[in-house]
A and B are shown apart, each in its own frame.
Chain A
């Protein structure tokens, strides 16, 4: 996998844009997933995931070809997500529940009967609860938990991706796990 990616990246470095499409195709689900779990919102996640690929393309020359591309790409994605979380102003998203209603979100205010097929799968209550609890974590715990349990990276990879000492990663994972345990123990 990494060898194909590296080959494509060399082509991209030579200026061949089409080779990048294959790289995007390989990593799109993973990057989208990081963004979705970090941000808890599909529209924002798509926005940031696209931005991450765009940044990676523009800065591809600064990527050290001897390192793992995924690590570099995930770092860009997580950093963008953290930036977005910090900048987030109280804003209205269609996904957000409308206050005082039970399970009604802004989608129900839009006259449209076309629901996305993904929504049906995701409307499972449990999934929503878990995502909500992940979204409630402070971003420094959220990023390590997402990388560890959703992207299934090793502790060393997380430390590289986030540019943090291994000890810090461990501490954050422990605290993140405890925080989630408190929220999810009665689910």
Chain B
């Protein structure tokens, strides 16, 4: 018996889920009577099942990383923006640091003139401050942007910023001598004095209470 040629077409229509009700009826009727077509249909379904059974393999490890490594470099701007977005705290901290450095640098730049604490018996010559021989200077002496030559006596601390101090053999300082050179030392000096002041405020506050 020669099967009608359209039966195979109907089978594929069925497998594509596009068969009309009429064709399906015809196909079913034919399959019941024809062993050959039954086998053919069965083999097609088996083939599909076999092909489908091979699915679900996975991409190798590091696949995504490998792809990402091969991509052309992105625009720098975006990278920077994303970095800022991902690190808000660091962004804030670095911004703060930049502003701080700016203000420190500008205040450092501003006072390049010689300045001296105001004691009446200090003598200023060009860039040099002299404590004359035999004189006694009372209180702390601060010299900024200049040298200090001590021939007489200072009753208090000595601080020389951006300069040097020379002590004559007859010179005498009762307090501490401190020299500040670089900007960082200057900064450190500021922090220390601020801390000292704070401590002093507390101490005087406490002694006031005690009184």
Q: Is A7 close to B, CB under 8 A?
A: no
Per-residue 0/1 for B105-121: is the Cβ within 8 Å of any A Cβ (1 yes, 0 no)? Answer: 00000000000000000
A interface residues, how many (CB within 8 angstroms): 45
CA distance A46 to B63 in the complex (A): 8
- Give residues 1-60 of A contacting B (CB, 8 Å): 14-18, 20-21, 24-25, 28-29, 31-33, 36-37, 42, 46, 49-50, 53-54, 57-58
Count of B interface residues, CB-CB < 8 Å:
36
A174 touches B12 (CB 8 A): yes
B59 lies within 8 A of A131 (CB) = no
Specify which of B9, B43, B54, B68 is in contact with A24 (CB 8 Å cutoff). B68
Indicate if the CB atoms of A177 and B67 lie closer than 8 Å: no
A17/B16 contact (C-beta < 8 A), A24-B63, A28-B63, A32-B58 known = no
Residue pair B63, A32 in contact (C-beta under 8 Å): yes
Q: Contacting A130 at CB < 8 Å: which of B16, B50, B56, B59?
A: B50
In the complex, chain A residues whose CB is within 8 Å of the CB of B40 = 181
Cβ < 8 Å to A, chain B residues 25-52: 40, 43-44, 46-48, 50-52
Contact (Cβ within 8 A) A49 B74: no
A32, B60: Cα distance in complex, Å: 9
A4 to nearest B CB, angstroms?
A: 16
Shortest C-beta distance, B205 to chain A (Å), equals 55
Kindly provide the distance from the CB of A50 to the nearest chain B CB, expressed in whole angstroms. 5
B55 an interface residue at 8 Å Cβ cutoff?
A: yes
Contact A150 B54 (CB under 8 A): yes
CB of A149 within 8 A of chain B?
A: yes
B55 partner residues in chain A, CB cutoff 8 A: 33, 149-150
Distance in angstroms from B65 CB to nearest chain A CB is 8
Compute how far the CA of A42 lies from the CA of B51 in the bound complex, rounded to whole angstroms. Answer: 18
Instruction: Determine the distance from Cα of A16 to Cα of B15 in the docked complex, in whole angstroms.
Output: 44
Q: Answer whether A42 and B74 are a contact pair too, CB < 8 Å, given A50-B67, A130-B51.
A: no
Residues from 135 to 187 in A contacting B, C-beta threshold 8 Å? 145, 149-150, 155, 170, 173-174, 177-178, 180-181, 184-185, 187
Q: How far is the CB of A123 from chain B (nearest CB, A)?
A: 13
Question: How many residue pairs, one in A and one in B, have C-beta atoms under 8 Å apart?
Answer: 109
- B47 and A180 contacting across the interface, CB-CB below 8 Å: yes
Q: By the criterion CB–CB under 8 Å, are A29 and B74 in contact?
A: no
Contacting residues, chain A, for B46 (C-beta < 8 A)? 184-185
Residue in B closest to A51 when the chains form the complex, CB atoms: B70
Say if the beta carbon of B71 comes within 8 Å of chain A. Answer: yes
CB of B78 closer than 8 Å to a CB of A: yes
**A residues in contact with B75, CB < 8 Å:** 15
Task: With A32-B58, A134-B51 given, name 11 new contacts (CB 8 A).
Answer: A20-B68, A29-B59, A37-B54, A53-B67, A149-B48, A170-B16, A173-B16, A177-B15, A177-B48, A180-B51, A181-B44
Q: CB within 8 Å of B: which residues of A?
A: 14-18, 20-21, 24-25, 28-29, 31-33, 36-37, 42, 46, 49-50, 53-54, 57-58, 118, 122, 126-127, 130-131, 134, 145, 149-150, 155, 170, 173-174, 177-178, 180-181, 184-185, 187
A-B contact pairs, 9 of them (CB 8 A): A24-B63, A46-B60, A118-B57, A127-B53, A130-B54, A150-B52, A184-B47, A185-B43, A185-B46
Instruction: Report the 10 A-B pairs with minimum CB-CB distance, sorted nearest first.
Output: A32-B59, A28-B59, A17-B74, A15-B78, A174-B12, A149-B51, A185-B43, A24-B64, A53-B67, A181-B47
